[in-house]
Amino acid sequence: MRGAASLHLLFGALLALVVVELAGPRLLHDPDQRLIDASVQRHAASRTPDPDIVVVDIDEASLARLQDEAGNWPWPRAVYAELVLGLLAQQPRAILFDILFAEADRFRPESDAAFVAVLEGQDRVYLPMLRLDPADDARGLALAEFGPLLGADRSAGADPAARAMLLPPAAVPAGLWRTGVINFVEDVDGVGRRYPLYVDIDGWRLPSLPARVARDLGYEVPDGDTLLLDWRGSAARSYSRVSFADLYIDFQRRQRQRPPDEFRDRIVIVGTAASGLRDLRVTPLGSLYPGVDILATALDNLKNGDAMRPAPAWWPAAAAALLLGSLWLAFLWHRHAGVIGVGLALATLVLLLGAHAAVGAGWRVPVMLPVLAAWAGYVGGALLAYLREKRAREQAVRLFARFLNPEVVDRLVARGETVESLSGRAHEISVLFSDIRGFTTLSEQRTPQQVVDLLNRYFSLQVAVVFRHGGTLDKFIGDCIMAFWGAPIADARHAQRAVACALEMQRTLAAFKAEYATELGELADGFDIGIGIHSGPAVVGFIGAEQKLEYTAIGDTVNLASRIEGMTKGLGRILVSADTVAGCANGARFRSRGSYTVKGRQQAVELFEPEQDA
């Protein structure tokens, strides 16, 4: 009961910790996300980015090749105007800039004017904006005035006085602000896995740039504020790319070398992967992932409707409860800790492989909490099982040592035998009873202390003989010793060992009488023993109350052995039954002492006396 209570307490505490982790600190959230990220990276490498999304990349080569014509970065907006004109001529579905146009170029106003002139009268070019520190919103744009220009949705409860600190594309007139937020959302571990769909400011919902484009192109935009990105490719191989310089220079040629419909019906994103322009982010695919590819991934997910989904909130708790419940039952039913460990290892493997496969199906499934909780439960349960087994072994050693040779005790404990496992077994055994003759007279003429001392010395010698011959000491009955062979460890030679023990007990008696002749005095001649042995079936096990257990044999075999011992007076010091003689083939020689009627038996019992040692 004490072990079961400890087990209940252990698994109850672990379940409570699971609930606390889910409701509070989320200490395993970051490791869990990194584990899923590894699967995301493997799956993404086998997925092809949407071919209709093309990145026009302002790469290092473009910065170098356009140095003479466009100058140092940032380039004049007339460069983008010429690019947009060339792209629009091929009728793309949309052109998105991942470059901020937050303020007018005071030194090249004519360049800004050229860019504005290209944007007027068309609805395919989208410019980004940034959401700045919310703490500064009081100094920001009035959303009642600018919200419609920013594409914001106004809810019924929107604050008419709401303001937002934003960085819109102020280099172009507000009427041309076909815009959306491009803030990248990083999780608490610094890794970006999501893209905002909307930014809610006092009831005004500002769309992100991918959401704005997707909505305008007729793609379904899911509910919620963020999009859990389903990545494609890798940091080294992502969306189709065209170098900005290659495209720009080709647009300047009279005889263009590139296909005239290269961008027809495609979504073009103009951005940069150049490391010097510092638009690199930490994502599951790498720590230097271009921001323009993140924008492309969000648009890809919206276009194809295959953004990732988080596992249901109840999943970690349910998985942990299932694993912990299974372990609790396994340990409660005393299953072997090694077998339980193998089972848990397989369950862990299934969970990890399942989580990996789930990523391929578009789900982010956390498994760290249930797995760690289960292994903590296993370690705790295995420790409790070990302590329980240790107590059982110690109890077994204490009990077995009272009845058995220490070597036999070691063999039984090594086999894992317990009080329960050794009880109620049927064995073929040989039972020996050895009773002292003349004990009554000795007791009457000696003090109680002298009698006890003599008996203890005598019993110690004879018990050593029993153990030396591999016997099991059953009990002392007054001045009588009961022992048996053939249990708890089966022994085909139990009859031979019992007879050999009886013959040595006879010799030990003679030695005892010679050693203690002075204490015995004139009673030495009358101090003798009678030994009876019978072989047959018996039930052997621990019998008694919990406070006092005895390892004993019961049955007719025991009764007959006792009766035979009682018949030794006048017949011989050692008498055995015919069944014992039959079990001593090639052992001692026996002399028949005749057949006698024994109480409780209808047929006479033939008795034999061994003539020499086995």
Q: Domain boundary residue among 290, 307, 324?
A: 307
Mean pLDDT in residue range 406-419: 68
Q: Is residue 35 part of a domain?
A: no
Identify the weakest region by mean pLDDT among 89-93, 395-399, 596-600.
Answer: 395-399
CB 132 within 8 A of CB 249: no
The answer to the question of residue 368 being in a domain is yes
Q: How far is CA 205 from the centre of its chain?
A: 43
Beta strands in 66-162 (DSSP E): 94-97, 125-131, 141-142, 153-154
| CATH at residue 524 | 3.30.70.1230
* Residue of 142, 136, 146 lying closest to 169 (CA atoms): 146
CB neighbours of 391 closer than 8 A, spacing ≥ 6? none
Whether the per-residue pLDDT at 1 is higher than 70: the answer is: no
How many domains does the chain fold into?
3
Same domain, 482 and 388: no
Residue 34 lies in a domain: no
Residue 233 lies in a domain: yes
137 and 251 fall within a common domain: yes
Residue 11 lies in a domain: yes
| Candidate from 100-104, 267-271, 335-339 with smallest mean pLDDT | 335-339
Between 368-401 and 337-360, two packed helices, what is the crossing angle to 10 degrees?
Answer: 170
> Any residues with CB less than 8 A from the CB of 57 and at least 6 apart, and which?
241, 242, 243, 244, 271, 272, 273, 292
Model confidence at 516: pLDDT above 60: yes
- The number of CA neighbours under 13 Å toward the Cβ of 573 is 18
Q: Considering 283, 307, 331, which residue would you say is the last residue of a domain?
A: 307
pLDDT at residue number 614: 42
Convert the pLDDT of each residue in 162-208 to its tens digit.
Answer: 999 999 999 999 999 999 999 988 998 899 999 999 999 999 999 99
Q: Does 359 lie in the same domain as 227? A: no
Do 207 and 334 belong to one domain?
Answer: no
Q: What's the pLDDT tens digit per position in 129-138?
A: 999 999 999 9
Residues 228 and 173 in one domain: yes
Give percent above pLDDT 90 in the chain.
Answer: 64
| pLDDT 10s digits, 383-399 | 988 888 777 777 767 76
Ranked by mean pLDDT, the top range of 110-114, 424-428, 609-613 is 110-114
596 Cβ contact partners less than 8 Å away, ≥ 6 residues apart = 567, 604, 605, 606, 607
Ramachandran angles phi, psi of 412, nearest 5°: -65, -45
SS3 8: helix
Residue where a domain stops, chosen among 255, 288, 307: 307
Sign of the CA dihedral running 5, 10, 15, 21: positive
The answer to whether residue 488 sits within a structural domain is yes
Give dist(CA 40, CA 34) in Å, integer.
10
pLDDT of the residue at 402: 66
| 39 belongs to a structural domain | no
Are the C-beta atoms of residues 205 and 156 closer than 8 Å to each other? Answer: no
A 10 A CB-CB count for 15 gives: 18
- Region 453-468 average pLDDT: 90
311's CB contacts (< 8 A; 6+ apart) are 358, 363, 364, 365, 366
Same domain, 439 and 574: yes
The answer on 559 and 428 residing in a single domain is: yes
pLDDT band at 38 (very low <50, low <70, confident <90, very high): very high
Return mean pLDDT, the chain.
Answer: 89
Would you say how long the chain is, in residues?
A: 614
546 pLDDT tier (thresholds 50, 70, 90): low
Same-domain pairing of 239 and 284:
yes
Q: By the 8 A CB rule, do 248 and 63 touch?
A: no
Return d(Cα 98, Cα 179) in angstroms, integer.
11
Assign 290 a pLDDT band (cuts: 50, 70, 90). very high
Confidence of residue 276 (pLDDT cuts 50, 70, 90): confident
Q: Are residues 336 and 445 in the same domain?
A: no
For residue 479, the model assigns a pLDDT of 85
User: Where in the sequence is the domain holding 529, given as residue range(s)?
Assistant: 405-610
Radius of gyration, alpha carbons of the chain: 47
Query: Do 230 and 351 share a structural domain?
Result: no
Alpha-carbon distance 505 to 475, whole Å? Answer: 16
Give residue 410's pLDDT: 72
pLDDT at 116: 96
Do 232 and 356 belong to one domain?
Answer: no
The answer to the question of residue 134 being in a domain is yes
pLDDT value at position 120?
Answer: 93
Ramachandran angles phi, psi of 235, nearest 5°: -65, -30
Residue 420, pLDDT > 90, answer no
Better-predicted residue by pLDDT, 398 or 501:
501
Tell whether 429 and 295 lie within a shared domain: no
Q: Determine the Cα–Cα distance for residues 486 and 493; give it in Å rounded to an integer.
A: 8
For a pLDDT cut of 70, what percent of the chain falls above it?
Answer: 93
